[in-house]
């Protein structure tokens, strides 16, 4: 059964959309990631225009992350001050990203730009995940323990602030920069950036691991919400019907994934996710160099 998506201006099988939503939701529940880095390319694969895929997926990330934030808040696992600093940088980065997105769309280059960004991003992230999971398996086999040093070069920078929940007294410059970078990626690629944000918060900002996930999700809700609003007003690329279908399916899938996760081994799961990321990367790369079915397309632009 096909449904017509008014903003995307395409007809898509509703069961295919539900299947994608449930599948990515399961992965989200299993691995603790937002899933935007997979859902956006998958939407492009089934014929959704890249610009609409980016704007729509941001909306879904807002909804799926909100419930998780409430759970972390009950456990007092959120550094609100750090989250607000990250959010301030993220809003600036997302505003810049939305304007660049708009310029590229007016020039008819947004599809190519999104695909190139995803190829590079997924290749780097997939390779690093695969390598780190391999090292973790080796360490587990040897019974080794990795200790992380609590002092970082970033703590000596100016404009220092105390972050009590993270047990830090450090400069606000690194979290502002990290937030701006994640905000830019969210606006251009329609991802939450958790795969980058969480390691950056641990290894660059030196935050304690018990507040990292909650703080990342806290700023992510407001960041992606603001990016969605900017996309809807500037680029008009948020399809409400597509959001509803994916959201319903994603919630169901995430609950299934959360139940399956404890039954599976962590490092094997990460290796599987890394391989999936690399497969999506290869598919996007192949589509970039393959001769298109239609050599000419009509794009939105200005004279």
Output the six-digit token pair for 296: 């000419």
- Residue 197 near residue 182, CB atoms below 8 Å: yes
Greatest alpha-carbon span in the chain: 65
pLDDT at 96: 93
Query: In angstroms, rounded to a whole number, what is the distance separating the alpha carbons of residues 188 and 178?
Result: 16
Identify the band that residue 145 occupies on the pLDDT scale cut at 50, 70 and 90.
Answer: very low
Instruction: Note the pLDDT tens digit of each residue in 167-211.
Output: 778 888 888 998 899 889 888 887 766 667 777 777 777 777 778
Task: State how far the Cα of 71 lies from the Cα of 67, in Å rounded to an integer.
Answer: 7
Q: Helices marked H in the chain — which ranges? A: 14-31, 36-45, 50-74, 80-106, 110-142, 173-189, 194-203, 209-230, 240-260, 266-289
- The tokens for 4 are 């017509």
DSSP lists the bridge partners of residue 170 as 161
Q: Are strands 10-13 and 2-5 parallel, antiparallel or unpaired?
A: antiparallel
Q: Is the pLDDT of residue 92 over 90?
A: yes
pLDDT band at 89 (very low <50, low <70, confident <90, very high): very high
Nearest one of 229, 204, 199 to 216, comparing CA atoms = 199
pLDDT tier at 302, thresholds 50, 70, 90: very low
Amino acid 245: pLDDT: 87
- What would the two tokens of residue 38 be? 């997979």
Q: Give the pTM.
A: 0.71
What's the Cα-to-Cα distance from 241 to each of 3, 14, 60, 172, rounded to whole Å?
9, 11, 11, 40
pLDDT in tens, 9-51: 888 888 988 888 888 777 766 665 666 777 888 888 888 888 8
């Amino acid at each position: 059964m096909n449904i017509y998506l008014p903003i995307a201006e395409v007809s898509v099988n509703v069961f295919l959309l539900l299947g994608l939503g449930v599948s990515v939701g399961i992965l989200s529940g299993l691995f603790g990631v937002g899933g935007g880095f997979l859902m956006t390319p998958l939407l492009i694969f089934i014929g959704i225009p890249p610009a609409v895929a980016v704007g729509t997926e941001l909306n879904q990330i807002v909804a799926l992350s909100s419930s998780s934030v409430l759970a972390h808040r009950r456990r007092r696992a959120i550094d609100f001050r750090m989250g607000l600093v990250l959010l301030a940088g993220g809003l600036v980065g997302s505003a810049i990203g939305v304007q660049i997105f708009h310029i590229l769309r007016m020039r008819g280059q947004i599809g190519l730009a999104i695909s190139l960004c995803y190829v590079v991003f997924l290749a780097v992230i997939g390779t690093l995940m695969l390598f780190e999971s391999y090292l973790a398996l080796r360490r587990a086999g040897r019974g080794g323990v990795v200790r992380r040093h609590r002092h970082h070069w970033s703590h000596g920078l100016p404009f220092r602030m105390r972050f009590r929940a993270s047990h830090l007294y450090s400069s606000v410059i690194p979290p502002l920069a990290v937030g701006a970078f994640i905000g830019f990626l969210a606006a251009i690629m329609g991802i939450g950036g958790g795969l980058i944000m969480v390691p950056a918060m641990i290894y660059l900002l030196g935050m304690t691991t018990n507040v990292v996930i909650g703080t990342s999700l806290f700023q992510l809700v407001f960041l992606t919400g603001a990016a969605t609003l900017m996309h809807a007003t500037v680029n008009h690329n948020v399809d409400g019907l597509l959001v509803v279908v994916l959201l319903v399916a994603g919630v169901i899938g995430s609950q299934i994934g959360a139940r399956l996760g404890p039954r599976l081994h962590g490092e094997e799961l990460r290796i599987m996710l890394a391989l999936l990321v690399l497969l999506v990367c290869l598919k996007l790369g192949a589509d970039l160099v393959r001769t298109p079915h239609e050599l000419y397309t009509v794009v939105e632009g200005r004279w």
